Chains A and B, each alone.
Chain A
Amino acid sequence: MSVEVMRAGLLATVQDHGRHGHAALGVGSAGPMDAPALRLANALVGNVPGDAVLEIGLIGPRLRFIETATIALTGAEFDARAATAPLPAWRPVHVAAGTVLDFGRARRGAWAYIAIAGGIDAARVLGSASTDVNARLGRAPLRDGDVLGVARADPVASGGHPRDGAALHAIGTFSLDPRPWFDPDPSRPIRLAPGRHAVALDAASRDALHAQPFRVAADSNRVGLRLDGPRLALAEALELVSEPVAAGTLQLPPGGQPIALMAEHPTTGGYPRIGQVAAIDLARLAQRRPGDTVRFAAIDIDDAQTRYLACENQLDRLCADIAARLDGIAR
């Protein structure tokens, strides 16, 4: 089973759940911008949670499926189609051998996930297949002409064939409601817990952080979202020593333009930490595109942690439900 990359698009990388456990060596986790979307893409094709998928940003690739495959597309809404047939998202789909799928552009949101049943075959480096673009770990971002292999036989549809020679054929009668997992509406606030240095902001900046809108700057990337808006300032300068940071940490460099650290963030940072994006809103923030509005609403960390655990439970239950349905189809 292999897939030819006819056109790579803007930034297509191989991602799994990330490279954890090596931050003490300065190795960041990388991994997906939208973790629930990656997990659901894998679940929809019967993969295990750690399987590697393709993450695509804003402008998607054009892929030729050399053999029949089962795939699922989750995350941002892309204009994905095979010739004139649109690719249904948030459900498993058979792709006939020889089909060319053009993922087009993102209509809403920024990052989507293409899971292929069996998982993408990619060498694990320090325990993960995730591409870390800056540290040059994992497979390099896709280039035109690359060929992707699949790690294992298709667990959903071995022996299955699309009906009537159709290029695309949805499997089963179910599809996921994307609404709990994909919300591109930029008017919805992003919940932010206070960071250690939030109290060091001057009074005007403290107000502005929660009262005024920011915009995602064009030079945002997998490392972080730079937020244009009111310039924030500390009441007085702080002498800080580099400390560990995490995904969602909102840093304030001297220029006054906050940066929300994302999937490929460094392991440590020396800028004031003025906030921490709630994990339940991290994927929602990741899906904002350059130019989109970001407004922050206050949350306390205890509440954020409770909601995060509830959300992870919901995701676990949904994945188990998908697995049961796929099991029913396979019989």
Chain B
Amino acid sequence: MTPPRAQPPAFDVEPLGESALLLRFGERIDAASNARVHAAVGALRAAALPGLVDIVPAYASLALHYEPAAWNEGGTAPWRRLADAVRGALATAVDAPMPSTRTVDVPVCYGGEHGPDLDALATTLGLDAASVAARHACGDYRVAMLGFAPGFPYLLGLDAALHAPRHARPRTRVPRGSVAIGGAQTGIYPSELPGGWQLIGRTPLVLFDPLREPACLLAPGDVVRFRAITPAAFEAIEREAAR
């Protein structure tokens, strides 16, 4: 007897204006929904649907930006025709394993001037600073999505013991490369930005440089591993990058 075929997971499709479709695979921030998003991105890229301008993955949904003129035949609205094509392209693909899981090593200097919130956060969490840093550095994190600012990665996989509230009064300037915790998420500020997350360390890597190819160090779906480095190592890497 053959095992029953897995039912493709249901997803919702809705128009996001005249030139975009929104596909929703879940309602929460969880690894399973996000994995389906990234699998769908891979399948949609492979399907090479005409008129596609951009595919934008988020936590539990993705947007397809498209040229409606490419789907304008017959009496059916273009978004409905594209939605049918998308359902066809994803009928079997969403359960596929995640495409190309790249692991990116991100050196971080925890605490001190680079992580001004580390000590106070450790006290709040009932831990010491070294163990907050150690727990943060030992996880495997998934780049769930990039957003807020060019190259800002929202990372899934933060140890529940490290979940921490955002600051009531956001900083007006968070230094470039700051590694931070906001709620159940961790992330890295790719440039100097305003921000309310707790700053626990800083990486000397340049996450976003529009003149570099590729511009972004991290891509949606990547796995990030943090590695603790000393202030001296931070400076050495930063000097190397500036040359």
- Which A residues lie at the B interface, using CB under 8 A? 20-27, 125-126, 134-137, 193, 196, 241-249, 266-268, 276, 278-279, 301-302, 304-306, 308-309, 312
Which residues of chain B in 52-72 are interfacial with respect to chain A, using CB atoms and an 8 Å cutoff? 53-63, 65, 68-69, 72
Say whether A23 contacts B151, CB under 8 Å.
Answer: no
12 further interface pairs, Cβ-Cβ under 8 Å (given A22-B215, A27-B215, A268-B58): A20-B54, A24-B219, A25-B215, A25-B216, A134-B149, A241-B29, A241-B60, A244-B56, A244-B62, A268-B147, A276-B17, A301-B17
A136 — which chain B residues lie within 8 A by C-beta? 191
- Shortest distance in angstroms between B32's beta carbon and chain A's nearest beta carbon? 13
- A69 CA to B165 CA, complexed, in Å: 57
User: Can you identify 23 A-B contacts, CB atoms within 8 angstroms?
Assistant: A21-B53, A25-B151, A25-B208, A27-B151, A241-B59, A242-B58, A242-B154, A243-B63, A244-B61, A244-B62, A245-B16, A246-B17, A246-B65, A247-B17, A248-B17, A267-B56, A268-B56, A276-B16, A276-B17, A302-B77, A302-B80, A306-B77, A308-B68
Q: Is there contact, CB below 8 Å, between B149 and A305?
A: no
**Within the complex, what minimum Cβ distance (angstroms) separates B26 from chain A?**
8
A241 contact set on B, CB distance < 8 A:
26-29, 58-61
Given the contacts A245-B16, A302-B77, A305-B68, A23 and B60 also touching, CB distance less than 8 Å: no
- A66 CA / B102 CA spacing, docked (Å): 53
**Which residues on A sit within 8 Å (CB–CB) of B16?**
244-246, 249, 276
Query: Bound state CA distance, A279 and B65, in angstroms?
Result: 14
**B16: min CB distance to chain A, Å:** 5
The distance in angstroms between the C-alpha atoms of A193 and B79, with both chains bound, is: 14
A306 to B220, CA, bound (A): 33
Q: Which residues of B contact A302 (CB under 8 A)?
A: 77, 79-80
With both beta carbons as reference points, the residue of chain B lying nearest to A28 in the complex is identified as B150
Q: Is there an interface contact between A21 and B54, defined as CB atoms closer than 8 Å?
A: yes
User: Is the Cβ of B79 less than 8 Å from the Cβ of A25?
Assistant: no
